[in-house]
Structure 1
């Protein structure tokens, strides 16, 4: 299906996409730890005394320079490059489609080769440009198993976990498309400055529950924060979970990135319905894990995400309950106006009610910004991602476009 087959609002700017790539059975060097990369090279005949040096070279080319072709590694011998091309790959996923929203948000539909006896899979990643920073929203699974009732992604069945390579490849590809790697001709060892990057922050808030894919997410995020490579500060990496309590403890101990909780309700009965994992890990257990998260302070707060659903969780009683629930936790509450998707029965809270809710939270001493919806016109906003391998029917697309125009106007 081509790019013209998907919903395209009047100001949506379709972008050129990559040509389909040959599906290669070769293992990728992307996503391997240094130790794993060294072992892979040794298995292909690289001498022990060269392993450390070769790994350092590859690490720099892949994660600092951002190359996707072994032939670009000009300080690696031709024989070594031929061996690497024969046995490994560092290719990016195929870009099936790239869309740019009216507000500058970009969404990529990416296709990964099959794993084992499986089929090629597709996921979505989203880049959100803001003044002074740019945030990349990364997926951790193909589909999702949590079935949160207000979330579009939750209507797609879980296909499989993404590998560390596939998680990192979303970041590498985004930097490619945004021109966020240094000039290939720059001196060896050149590292992108912390300031001025187009992708300055990453959030594990795309498709899937990251903590149900803990090992791959851990590997990918530790590589993303490696000071000799992609070099993102752990304070600029946020992992969002719906509440997989045992892995929250592991996240703090083993990864150490910022934590976000997909909360959305302050009573167990309501959260059981909105976020069904609450039946397994109810609010008390979730909040105990939050209070125990390492390094909490006013400078390292947990973010609690709260989608505003009209007549469901947006009363002042809910706001009072939220304050009680978060007592003693350094926290920020992101209030998220509900983003519509085809087939949903929920409505976004009235703006006046959202502001009243926010004012009450603010008066209690908690920051409660109202998140500006981004990328709604390309189904790239929070809760709207869904692999285009399960595409909307034409009638659904037309109905959605009409709804967006009716609600927001053609601008």
Structure 2
């Protein structure tokens, strides 16, 4: 089916938040694509470096230097403050520092996030004091993203492309569902450092940089502003777009806090889900600091398989990951973690996998989403057949596990799970296929 594509002139957007460089994550392996390549996909690193990607980044984003998130939301033009990079207490303090009452801050907050206004420009701030608007025009910036394109898939899923201030592009997906629920899937990084073997983003892009708080929040604001009239109220947010959210934990937690503010976007904390490949220290911090939901991308029932398809497992083994969840969830009431399980034919979909999965999640309040693999160029894997997925689900359900099948959405526009991103000039390496799976993937290596 032919795609429907809407092109929008990318208006000049000068707002760039500071400190968007990645924090270090050390994983015990290192790969060089070629002996002469300037790109080193390295997760076996000194503490200050997690990825050297000189051929993927400009001099403005040298990944050998790491920040701790955008502690100050300032644009690159005349030191203007990026409004969507601040929580409400920060906004209130900033407004007062310019000599205005806290009530003005609340009025501004509601016009940015509430009342179906979702203001992107000073002209949309009806009802605000004239002098206050003049101060905002001189000292603040509303937009951190510039709209580039919207692609519409045959099932109604929309993939939105945004251009950042530095020219990089990110993707956001809006997924209309039945029962009055529509989900926006936001990105947290430009690319990803995790190199999950089934994921287009990590394999084809590597990591360019973190997204700032404002760049994350504005994806949800833009989705409501652009599409509410077409798809209805956007009720859910999932951090399952480009990137590993907990690798960018400072900005992600802050963005989620802004999204669930009761005077602003008003998303329910239970309907804002942050997904992770399994960064154990960051999982602990997230569960202790955030009210939002957690999803863990599991995808294997043994360390051998998970080491291959999800290299983060070489740093944080399955036992450590699952025991951490058991311990942390004991401290939370009425909280279930969501396990995501991408089903790969001949790799992780056997009867033995189903039985091991039942044992692995014992003692963890959880739900499991079985996800059909979405093929893409350069991938070794094939999706598990639907009949086999149903059998796998039934095995889990008979054991009392809460389990769902998640259908692919937007795959004809490369908008489905694991399909986001644009290939870089150099891709992350394919890892060695374990011998017992070489036939399943058609590998001779």
State the TM-score, normalized to the length of structure 1.
0.83
Distance in 1, matches of 2:284 and 2:13, equals 41
CA distance in 1, matches of 2:138, 2:193: 37
Tell me the alpha carbon deviations over residues 72-108 of structure 1, each in whole angstroms, 9 at most, x when there is no partner.
Answer: 2122222221221122111252121110000000001
Displacement of 1:51 in angstroms is 3.6
1:180 Cα deviation from its structure 2 partner: 6.0
Whether the aligned pair in 1 keeps the contact of 2:410 and 2:416 (CA below 8 Å) is yes
Aligned match for 2:102, one of 40, 52, 64? 52
Match of 1:146 in 2: 194
Kept in 2: contact 1:142–1:387 (CA 8 A):
no
Answer whether contact 1:150 1:383 (CA < 8 A) is retained: yes
Pairwise CA distance, 1:41: 3.3
Pairing of 1:76-91 with structure 2 (within 5 A): 76-91=128-143
Q: Secondary structure at the match of 2:226?
A: helix
**Residue of structure 2 in register with 1:61 after alignment:** 111
2:178 aligned to which of 128, 131, 147: 131
Counterparts of 1:143 and 1:131 in 2: how far apart (Å)? 30
* Mapped pair 1:163 → 2:208: no
CA distance in 1, matches of 2:319, 2:14: 47
1:375 to 410, 413, 430: 410
Higher mean displacement: 58-67 or 32-41 = 32-41
1:304 pairs, out of 339, 347, 359, with: 339
Deviation at 1:351, TM superposition (A): 2.0
Return 380-389 or 135-144, whichever deviates more: 380-389
Q: Could you say what secondary structure the match of 2:313 adopts?
A: helix
The aligned residue for residue 91 of structure 2 is: 37
The structure-2 alpha-carbon separation of the partners of 1:212 and 1:317, relative to structure 1 and needing over 3 Å to count, comes to: same
- Counterpart Cα distance in 2 of 1:223 and 1:379: 29
| Whole-angstrom distance in 2 between the partners of 1:296 and 1:96 | 44
The answer for unaligned runs of 5 or more in structure 2 is 16-76, 428-445
| CA RMSD of superposed structures (Å) | 2.2
Match of 1:286 in 2: 321
Q: Distance in 2 between matches of 1:387 and 1:40?
A: 37
Deviations 1:367-390 (A, max 9, x none): 222111100100011111114777
**Residues in 2 aligned to 1:281 and 1:342: alpha-carbon distance in whole angstroms:** 29
Within-5 A mapping of 1:174-253: 174-179=223-228, 198-253=233-288
Residue in structure 2 matching 1:122, options 169, 177, 193: 169
1:253-282 deviation digits (Å, cap 9, x = unpaired):
111211111000010111011111111111
- Alpha-carbon distance between aligned partners in 2 of 1:304 and 1:20, rounded to the nearest angstrom: 40
Match of 2:32 in 1: none
1:57, CA displacement in angstroms? 1.5
Distance 1:342 1:352 in 2: 25
Do the aligned partners of residues 329 and 36 (structure 1) sit closer, same or farther apart at CA in structure 2, a change above 3 Å counting? same
- Matched position secondary structure for 2:10: coil
* In structure 2, distance between residues paired with 1:312 and 1:200: 35
| 2:145 alignment partner in structure 1 | 93
Report if aligned partners of 1:298, 1:330 keep a CA contact under 8 Å in 2: no
* Secondary structure of the corresponding residue to residue 382 of structure 1: coil
Partner of 1:335, secondary structure, is strand
CA separation of 1:264 and 1:22: change in aligned 2, threshold 3 A: closer
Q: Distance in 2 between matches of 1:56 and 1:129?
A: 31
CA distance in structure 1 between the partners assigned to 2:5 and 2:361 by the alignment: 43
Calculate the TM-score normalised by the size of structure 2.
0.77
Q: Distance in 1 between matches of 2:229 and 2:328?
A: 33
Q: CA deviation at 1:20?
A: 2.8
Structure 2: distance between partners of 1:326 and 1:104: 34
Moved over 6 A (4+): 295-298, 388-392
Moved more, 79-88 or 231-240: 79-88
SS in 1 for 2:243: coil
1:21 counterpart = 2:73: no
C-alpha separation in 2, matches of 1:208 and 1:360: 32
